[in-house]
Chain A
Amino acid sequence: QVQLQESGPGLVKPSETLSLTCTVSRGSIISYFWSWIRQPPGKGLEWIGYVYYNGSATYNPSLKSRVTISVDTSKNQFSLRLASVTAADTAVYYCARTVGMLDYWGQGMLVTVSS
């Protein structure tokens, strides 16, 4: 069964760049799309974007100007960068395998934006 694990700093200062990595194990990153999703405390789910294993990425228009999602097939990892963060970006960030629907999810990582 595919497993995903998010990693990265849990605290980011306002105006800086949030960077997270998702490591995929017990399965290959090849031939799938891979998404980032976030959930502010007490709120609903928001899709950030996804990347195909060949590096082609698609983003939520609401975040497109600040987001970059990339993939490293040699490490079976994909990454999220979100620039110019504010307190509104405080959320649990999930990575997930995407086959249209999101069938395997990481455990999630709380990222707090605060000085």
Chain B
Amino acid sequence: ILNVEQSPQSLHVQEGDSTNFTCSFPSSNFYALHWYRWETAKSPEALFVMTLNGDEKKKGRISATLNTKEGYSYLYIKGSQPEDSATYLCAIPPTSGSRLTFGEGTQLTVNP
């Protein structure tokens, strides 16, 4: 079983602040890293799938970077808005397929 760790566990920021959080994973036998966004009372939705060391992906004000050699990925949110409030999950598939192992998530609250 892969060990996927996310930090911090929760985060409160003010509207307009930029923020970032971390996903750490074993650097050996890396295949891919997934970021999901999960709003309360809704289902998790995919944000990014990242595979290559040095990858950087962007969707609007949200971006992510990947370092497979040291085993971490950062998720950045620029100019946070209340609608960004959600739990952000990262997940790693084991070597044999897409049975994702999820981290515990970072719960972001953006105060207006």
Whether chain B is bound by chain A comes out as: no
Residues of A whose CB lies within 8 Å of any CB of B are: none
